Amino acid sequence: MTNKASTNAVARVSECIESVRLDEVSFTFVEVIDAAFVLSLRTNPDLNRHLSAVSNDLAAQESWIREYKRRESQSTEFYFIIRKSDEPTGTVRIYDFREDSFCWGSWIIKPGASPRVSIASVQLVYKIGFQALGFAQSHFEVRKQNSSVNRFHLKMGAVRVGEDVDSYFYSIEKACVEEFFRRRDR
């Protein structure tokens, strides 16, 4: 764990998610009580094509969340429920903290959600990573077949830094993210 995410990171992230709401979109830390909602997203065939597979086992999902809460308490990972008007709408994780970079993924938005949920959740991810945790860049991977998400990240200014058989690997600087949202909000 880097010092970026260690000292009081849970408190800083908690303060950030409690104080920032964009277009009625907010984050809460995932809790064991959210397991059925998370599992419903992860096992939905329309949503899980580009994610690692999970079994449709509520007890296993609850166990995974309990183990995650240990990692959260150690500030090595943060997993959120995305909420629109306080209703659960999706999930996203921030993890793999490096010297000056964080990774994010497990980004799932339930069908029928407003397109604003997606863009607001991305803004919140970057606010947490750049402002609350103090990172200067983000790294992440996107499955090659997920063409709309690949186009979105390239439009934001992400740089493709590698690939394997299934995925493209990206990096994006804080300044690119800030410029993207400045242009978008004009």
**Per-residue model confidence (pLDDT) at position 63:** 97
Is the model more confident about 172 or about 16? 172
Q: How confident is the model at residue 3 (pLDDT cuts 50, 70, 90)?
A: very low
Q: What superfamily would CATH give domain 9-185?
A: Gcn5-related N-acetyltransferase (GNAT) (3.40.630.30)
Per domain, the residue ranges of the chain are: 9-185
Task: Report the Cα–Cα distance between both ends of the chain, in Å, rounded.
Answer: 38
Mean pLDDT for 128-132 is 94
**How far is it, in rounded angstroms, from Cα 172 to Cα 153?**
9
| Residue range 65-99, pLDDT digits in tens | 999 999 999 999 999 999 999 899 999 999 999 99
Amino acid at 183: R
Alpha helices, H only, the chain: 9-19, 35-42, 58-73, 115-126, 147-156, 174-185
